[in-house]
Amino acid sequence: MTRRETGARQGRLAVLGLLVCLLVPGCRRLPRNSAHLVVLVPKLLGIPYFNAARDGAQRAAQQLGLQLLYTGPTAADAGLQVEVLDSLLALHPGVLAVSCDDPNAVTPVLRRARRYGIHVLTWDSNAQPGVAEWFVNQVDPEALGRHVMDVLAAEMGGHGKFAIITGSLTASNLNQWLGWMKRERAERFPQMELVTVVAGNDDQQLAFVEAQQLLQAYPDLGGIIGNSSAAVPAAARAVQQAGKAGRVAVTGLSTPDLMRRYIQDGTVKTVTLWDPGKLGALTLQVAAQVMRGETPTDGMNVPDVGPVQVIAASHTIIIGPPLDFTRANIDRYHF
């Protein structure tokens, strides 16, 4: 037998082996058209923020006796998210709950889902108004944007130059908060000057480089707002390395886990967010309600979440006011 034939035989064996590997587990069929299936789709998988939301949703699903499928795109990309949603429609879940990467791009697929008789919720980041039955929102964007600006202004004494590091320039919720920060500055803090807005693309390394460049380019910079969870720790690290802790105020929207060391060593005094675990839990509770055909009511007390604000006109449910993490309370939160 020649070596060539040996090679060919190995090849055929490999094909046969693959065939067996593929067909053996093929006996068990998946359940179809599960009315108790809730699909929860984040903007992207694998970041602590959405992981915390998933954990909250999982606990709620267990209590409610619902089956939860948590899946989504592996990168924050609207096209990828729509592809995942397209595939999920074939599962006919009872409820499809989506944190929309781009409100316009997901709208056609969500409309289609409703035509197929699937209940559609949005959470964390909305689609176009009127597409979802309910939008489960963390906090009012206006309250949040204004609050972050107020925190920075208080730390800077109401005057001086500051910069904003945002996530991606195309994220709708970030741009909304950014708009309210700018408006709050224009209305209440005329002596503060926003020198620039740069994008860190939700990447801590990139945001760190951007923060270093900001400190170089504006030696008299008095403060930095991080408008994405990766941007605040990156800014804090850059300020600390430049030896400017205490002279450059850092604040913004980030998670306790990412900010713990900077809060504890005093580089950062306050960082703001909400509890994504509650967001996930509330989404599941609302999902259970819409499947039962009930309408959420303003002030209803939700298990593990508390009383929530329901705005019937805009079909929005809001968890509550923004949550500030400081040295006093940060040890109580882990996400």
Partner 1 sequence: MTSLRSRPAVPQALVVGVLLALFCAYVGGRSGDFWTAANWQLLVQPMAEAGLVALGLTLVLASGGIDLSVGSIVGLSAVAAAWAAQRHGSTAGVVGVALLCGSLCGAGNGVLIGGLGLSPILVTLGTMIFFGGLAVAVSAGASFAGFPDGLLRLSDAAWLGVPAACLIFLALAIAGFLVARYSLWGRYLLHQGQSAVAARFSAMPVRSSLIAVYTAQGLLCGLASLLMVARLASARADMGQTLLLTAIAGVVLGGTSVTGGVASVPGTVIGIATFYVVGNGLTLLGVPAFVQTAVVAGLLLIAVGLANLLRPGKVAA
Sites of contact with partner 1 (CB under 8 A): 1-8, 10-11, 14-15, 18-19, 22-23, 25-30, 32, 45-46, 69, 71-75, 77-80, 82-84, 86-92, 102-108, 116, 128, 168-170, 172, 175
Which residues lie across from 197 on neighbouring strands? Answer: 164
Given the complex with partner 1, which of 233 and 280 has the nearer CB atom?
A: 280
Q: How far are the Cα atoms of 198, 223, 252, 274, 296 from residue 228, in angstroms, in the given order?
A: 11, 16, 8, 13, 30
Q: Which residue in 208, 178, 180 sits closest to 196, CA to CA? A: 178
| Cα distance between residue 216 and residue 149, in whole Å | 23
Q: Would you say 113 and 94 are in contact if contact means Cβ atoms under 8 Å apart?
A: no
Rounded CA gap, 186 and 188, in Å?
Answer: 6
The answer to whether residues 122 and 290 touch, using CB atoms and an 8 Å cutoff, is: no
Question: 162 pairs with which residues across the strands?
Answer: 194, 223
Q: Please name every residue paired with 160 in a beta bridge, in sequence order, or none if there are none.
A: 192
Phi, psi of 53 (to 5 degrees): -65, -40
Nearer to partner 1, 69 or 323 (CB): 69
What's the Cα-to-Cα distance from 39 to each of 114, 259, 275, 283, rounded to whole Å?
Answer: 14, 30, 20, 11
Q: Return the amino acid letter for 253.
A: L
- Kindly state the smallest distance separating residue 54's Cβ from partner 1, in Å: 12
Q: How far apart are CA 180 and CA 146, in angstroms?
A: 6
State whether residue 302 is helix, strand or coil.
strand
Give which of 106, 95, 122 is closest to 73, Cα–Cα: 106
